[in-house]
Amino acid sequence: MATVRIFLLLSVITLGKSLEPVKNCTKPGPFCETCSSLVACVQDSDGSWTKNPLAKCDLPSRCVSGVCTTVEEPFCWGTADLEFPCKSVGAFPDPFYCNKFVLCVKEGARLKPYLNECPPGFGFDIKTDLCDSELGDGQCPETLPVPICTQAGQSGALDGKPAMYYICEQYSEVKKVLYPVLDVCPGAQVYEEYQCVDKGGTTTVPTTMTTVPTTTEMKTEQ
């Protein structure tokens, strides 16, 4: 019986490791196949790819941009999987996935995020708030929908929608990672240097968020 338990435990561990998605080569050179595996991508004459193992990135290092490093990265460090913190009602791009978006809906006194995924081959377009952006080869580009946070207070308007902006804040007291919190300026105002401004000169100073409400729930729409 003890042997069976050990076998099952090892099976679960092996299965857990296999769940980490393996990425395909997109260009020649060092490439992070997974968050822990660094390979060399070699393109053959027929256009196919060969992966040659280079190194294993052991904790606390992760494979980021072709090197083993301790620099935080949203996918390998789990930031991309955190619940989206709603600040106002509306549709917002997922900060990390080009083919996903979040609907922030007011339910009672709460704002709840509902995660949605675009049909295969399409990405979310913040200009239209629709999944009408065709993806090359069905893959998201290397550039993320929202810039990666490198320091607290980092901020700016999103490309294509000057009324929508992000501010990099600590996610919570438990998850002390920087998260690009999204919000949108009211009316016809646009975001400039921590202010919502319109041509008439009216200015609104956005509020900042220090923690994520514990009552917010993420749900995936089928």
The pLDDT of 37-45, averaged and rounded, is 94
Q: Which residues pair with 56 in a beta bridge?
A: 37
Note the pLDDT tens digit of each residue in 78-98: 899 999 999 999 999 999 999
- 162 class by beta-carbon count within 10 Å (0-12 exposed, 13-18 middle, 19+ buried): middle
CA distance from start to end of the chain: 42
- Judged against a pLDDT cut of 90, whether residue 179 lies above it is answered with yes
The three-point CA angle 140-145-151 to 5° equals 130
User: What tens digit of pLDDT does each residue of 125-173 get?
Assistant: 999 999 999 998 778 888 899 999 989 999 999 999 999 999 999 999 9
